[in-house]
A and B are shown apart, each in its own frame.
Chain A
């Protein structure tokens, strides 16, 4: 028995009046609202959307891919905890997630650097331990990224926040301004000052 093969081009043209569509893609804000109400599937969708971006940003905040993985996990866990009180900027969860990652990374580093001062103030402290090596070991990985981070960490807090969002995270200045609660012109001036400081600092470090 032979089969009759019909070349595709011989089929008549067909116009589909109402082509089938996949499920509508929900915006971050819609998913965020559902997540805030306890919907883990919605939160999972947000995770799938932004995990890669947060992971890359976390690397730029730590200069270590292993720390970036931990920081990404912590960022999403904290996001789950806090999402009920958050208003998204321009319907994207990413700037806020970057801010959370930045705060987590900043606290980690500040804890390390302030430890020495803290133990020296405790009563009966006779010999203060030196943890400078531990601090240095945290900033391992890519040497270039580590140098940039070292320079960024010398910036005043307001400039550092702007740099982390706009230069490291590549968030638009308008979005960063809304997130930081300042005018966009302030963010631009902070970035301008920060760029000048970073240029000088990076030259020193190299």
Chain B
């Protein structure tokens, strides 16, 4: 070729090769204990998780932000069994507003305060709580964009208001559009984002030939929170979006690669 007048290929500089090699080697070596479950066991848990998930979303409550339904799952957490981590959505609305106030305070105190919409314009959607007590509130923030507020016992973090969402799953352009995007990944492994034209979501952690379903995500008003637990280089998570008839309409995956992950949000101590 070259009818396109492509620039010529270049020799790969040694330092660049080293950097790429280090990233890849780290990814291969960094194996998690939570992925030790054999495929058969993981598949069995996948069936269980899917069953619970479908059941919990048969009666969605569109637009009802004040009476969130509980979608909790738990499982044995022994060294020999896969860890299935759930999140809970049964949080009092007052708690949701209090958490958003914490995040608004942190945003206002940050150098990027001007990039956030005023607190009065934040429209909460739901709050999900992880087993360790960390809460994430989904809300519509700057410019009506999906945003997330994470509150721990000592800190509050609000997702980057200007960051571009990371695509997890997209349908081919010639099909009716459905998509799943990630907006925020917390240091504790809570992944938050939104989905388009999807009625239900399923997540599966993948490393090498080992897979593990990640239980029931909190999913309402097109926004979701799912607990990945540890999520490191070499890991990835598969996502399937289903229609209200249970058909798979979109699927994709997110590999742990720092340039392709949602950026950290704005963090500060609670009042």
CB pair B28–A73 under 8 Å, yes or no, is no
CB-contacts of A111-159 with B (<8 A)? 111-112, 114-115, 117-119, 121-129, 131, 134, 142, 144-145, 148, 157
Which of B66-74, B80-88, B162-170 contacts its partner? B162-170
Enumerate chain A residues within 8 angstroms of B221, measured Cβ to Cβ. Answer: 122-123
CB pair B10–A114 under 8 Å, yes or no, is no
Enumerate chain A residues within 8 angstroms of B194, measured Cβ to Cβ. Answer: 118, 122
CB of B12 closer than 8 Å to a CB of A: yes
Which of A10-18, A51-59, A86-94, A181-189 contacts its partner? A51-59
Centre residue among B4, B144, B208, B209 by max chain A CB count within 10 A? B4
CA A43 to CA B99, docked complex, whole Å: 47
Q: A107-B167, A115-B165, A170-B1 are in contact. Are A55 and B20 (CB under 8 A)?
A: yes
CB pair B181–A118 under 8 Å, yes or no, is yes
CB pair B144–A122 under 8 Å, yes or no, is yes
Enumerate chain A residues within 8 angstroms of B166, measured Cβ to Cβ. Answer: 111
Enumerate chain A residues within 8 angstroms of B21, measured Cβ to Cβ. Answer: 47, 51
CB pair B24–A118 under 8 Å, yes or no, is no
- Partner of A118 from the list B1, B9, B196 (CB cut-off 8 Å) is B196
Classify chain A's interface size: 35 or more
CB pair A70–B177 under 8 Å, yes or no, is no
Enumerate chain B residues within 8 angstroms of A78, measured Cβ to Cβ. Answer: 236, 255
- Partner of A108 from the list B12, B179, B260 (CB cut-off 8 Å) is B260
CB pair A117–B177 under 8 Å, yes or no, is yes
- Partner of B174 from the list A38, A72, A148, A157 (CB cut-off 8 Å) is A157
CA A10 to CA B239, docked complex, whole Å: 74
Enumerate chain B residues within 8 angstroms of A32, measured Cβ to Cβ. Answer: none
CB pair A38–B257 under 8 Å, yes or no, is no
CB pair B259–A118 under 8 Å, yes or no, is no
CB of B146 closer than 8 Å to a CB of A: yes
A29-58: CB near B (< 8 Å → 1, else 0) gives 000000000101001100100011101100
Expressed in whole angstroms, the minimum distance between the Cβ of B51 and any Cβ of chain A is 26
CB pair B3–A43 under 8 Å, yes or no, is no
In the complex, residue of chain B having the shortest beta-carbon distance to the beta carbon of A126? B144
Centre residue among A114, A128, A131 by max chain B CB count within 10 A? A114
- Partner of A56 from the list B10, B24, B162, B257 (CB cut-off 8 Å) is B10
CB pair A110–B167 under 8 Å, yes or no, is yes
- Partner of A128 from the list B6, B144, B146, B207 (CB cut-off 8 Å) is B144
B191-213: CB near A (< 8 Å → 1, else 0) gives 00010110000000011110000
CB of A69 closer than 8 Å to a CB of B: yes
CB of B11 closer than 8 Å to a CB of A: yes
CA A148 to CA B2, docked complex, whole Å: 12
CB pair B1–A167 under 8 Å, yes or no, is yes
CB of B111 closer than 8 Å to a CB of A: no
CA A198 to CA B2, docked complex, whole Å: 13
CA A118 to CA B146, docked complex, whole Å: 10
In the complex, residue of chain A having the shortest beta-carbon distance to the beta carbon of B62? A123
Expressed in whole angstroms, the minimum distance between the Cβ of A33 and any Cβ of chain B is 14
Which residues from chain A sit less than 8 Å from chain B, CB to CB? 38, 40, 43-44, 47, 51-53, 55-56, 59-60, 67, 69-70, 72-74, 76-78, 80-81, 84, 107-108, 110-112, 114-115, 117-119, 121-129, 131, 134, 142, 144-145, 148, 157, 166-168, 170, 195, 198, 202
Provide a sorted-by-A list of 13 A–B residue pairs whose CB atoms are within 8 angstroms.
A43-B28, A44-B25, A59-B10, A60-B6, A74-B260, A80-B28, A107-B167, A123-B63, A124-B123, A125-B140, A125-B144, A129-B162, A166-B1
Q: A47-B24, A59-B7, A81-B206 are in contact. List 17 more A-B contacts (CB 8 A).
A: A38-B208, A40-B28, A73-B20, A77-B257, A80-B28, A108-B260, A118-B194, A119-B143, A121-B197, A124-B144, A125-B144, A126-B143, A129-B162, A157-B172, A157-B174, A167-B4, A168-B6
